[in-house]
Amino acid sequence: METLYIKVDEKNPEIDKIRIAAEIIKKGGLVAFPTETVYGLGANALDEKAAIKIFEAKKRPQDNPLIVHIQDIKELYLLVKEVPQKAYSLIEKFWPGPLTLIFEKSERVPNGTTGGLDTVAVRMPDHRVARLLIRESGVPIAAPSANLSGKPSPTNAQDVMEDMKGRIDAVIDGGDSKFGVESTVLDLTGDIPIILRPGGITKEELEEVLGRVQVEDAISGIEKPKSPGMKYRHYSPKAEIYLIVGEIPLQIKKIKELAKEFERKGFKVGILATAQTRKEYFGENVISAGDRDAPLTISSNLFSLLRKFDRMGVDVILAEGIPETGLGLAVMNRLKRASGNRIIKA
């Protein structure tokens, strides 16, 4: 399969180009497109055959459900049985934006899209290109992140092509994703709202609207997690990641020790530092992920840097932990999972 590459002006997307992609969606094809979180791999959410193609292209287990993307609130009512009161205040405050809400699904949503669940995950992305694509397609678009299953999510069109060239019909290049981590997935179906996956909208922001919010422990390898995606290894580059947590001076000391040890054994070591600590380390393979005091600078770079380390051919990545507040919670969730739980307390 030839993958059509469509470059658009992200500020002022050319409508004729969007329509080419929309035609592909209407015909049941697959189009990767930019959102404010990461790139999505889209298909008509109401067409079961099209949705199933997504799983094949990504090599994704079929029980891991897809998020359905809409661009107008009217589309929500077609997808769900009812909208709970709590959801309205969240929708008003955070849509369009990186918040995915779980609802009981309507008959119209095929099982292929929801991995057989009777709930459906819905979000309204805050990205011109994504919104126009949904509008011009005339259908809600099911879209997981546009990576091969298990790899870091793509935050630019080149990273999509690295995984998906020849496997999908088209990719729309609309520049870099702003957040760099996926949307927050929030389950409102129980009494207490539960964050199934921390993401672009922070726990603190949600608590301002909802009061108490729980975070599902994604790491502890639960047998039957509420969010099926949580049981799979994820976000992993080829290199082995070690996540070092603790006070900053102790992190630095530990990373230096580990780097020496791995290098002595003949491994090529990459260090994922921060702007504040970058100068403490020596060698070619040290990269600052961003500013500890502005976690968006880290989240927006994280996945593309993990892919960059792979292209540099490092065997081991030693990553500094950051505080789990604000977007730091999503960053640490991805790093923990990418490390396969190789977490070292300094």
Residue 274 or 304: which CB sits closer to Mg ion? 304
Q: Which of 9, 213, 236, 22 is nearest to 132 (CA)?
A: 22
Residue 31 or 346: which CB sits closer to ligand TXA? 31
Residue 116 or 323: which CB sits closer to ligand TXA? 116
Is residue 96 near ligand TXA by the rule CB under 6 A? no
Is residue 113 near ligand TXA by the rule CB under 6 A? no
**How far are the Cα atoms of 26, 74, 331 from residue 139, in angstroms, in the given order?**
8, 12, 32
What does the alpha-carbon distance between residue 281 and residue 301 come to, in Å, rounded to a whole number? Answer: 19
Q: Show the tokens assigned to 137.
A: 């397609």
What angle, rounded to 10 degrees, do the helices at 295-312 and 328-338 form?
Answer: 20
Q: Show the tokens assigned to 215.
A: 């975070």
Q: Determine the residue with CB nearest Mg ion.
A: 145
Say which residue the tokens 């992305």 belong to. 125
Please, which of residues 177-196 interact with ligand TXA by CB under 6 A? 182-183, 185, 196
Residue choice 8, 79, 120, 287 for contact with ligand TXA (CB under 6 A) = 120
Is residue 227 near ligand TXA by the rule CB under 6 A? yes
Answer yes or no: are the C-beta atoms of 235 and 337 closer than 8 Å. Answer: yes
- If you write DSSP's letter for every residue of 51-112 in order, what string do you get? HHHHHHHHT--TTSPPEEE-SSHHHHHHHBS---HHHHHHHHHH-SSSEEEEEEBPTTS-HH
Number of residues engaging Mg ion in binding (CB under 5 A): 1
Residue choice 13, 96, 228, 295 for contact with ligand TXA (CB under 6 A) = 228
Judged by CB under 5 A, which stretch of 8-16, 145-153, 242-250, 329-337 contacts Mg ion? Answer: 145-153
Residue 227 or 288: which CB sits closer to ligand TXA? 227
Residue choice 44, 145, 156, 202 for contact with Mg ion (CB under 5 A) = 145
C-alpha distance across the termini of the chain, in Å: 49
What does the alpha-carbon distance between residue 32 and residue 44 come to, in Å, rounded to a whole number? Answer: 12
Is residue 34 near ligand TXA by the rule CB under 6 A? no
Is residue 64 near ligand TXA by the rule CB under 6 A? yes
Is residue 183 near Mg ion by the rule CB under 5 A? no
- If you write DSSP's letter for every residue of 11-31 in order, what string do you get? SS--HHHHHHHHHHHHTT--E
Judged by CB under 6 A, which stretch of 18-26, 79-87, 141-149, 208-216 contacts ligand TXA? Answer: 141-149
Please, which of residues 207-226 interact with ligand TXA by CB under 6 A? 226
Is residue 288 near ligand TXA by the rule CB under 6 A? no
Q: Which residues bind Mg ion (CB under 5 A)?
A: 145
Q: Which residues bind ligand TXA (CB under 6 A)?
A: 35, 37-38, 40, 64-67, 98, 100, 102, 114, 117, 119-121, 125, 143-145, 182-183, 185, 196-197, 226-229
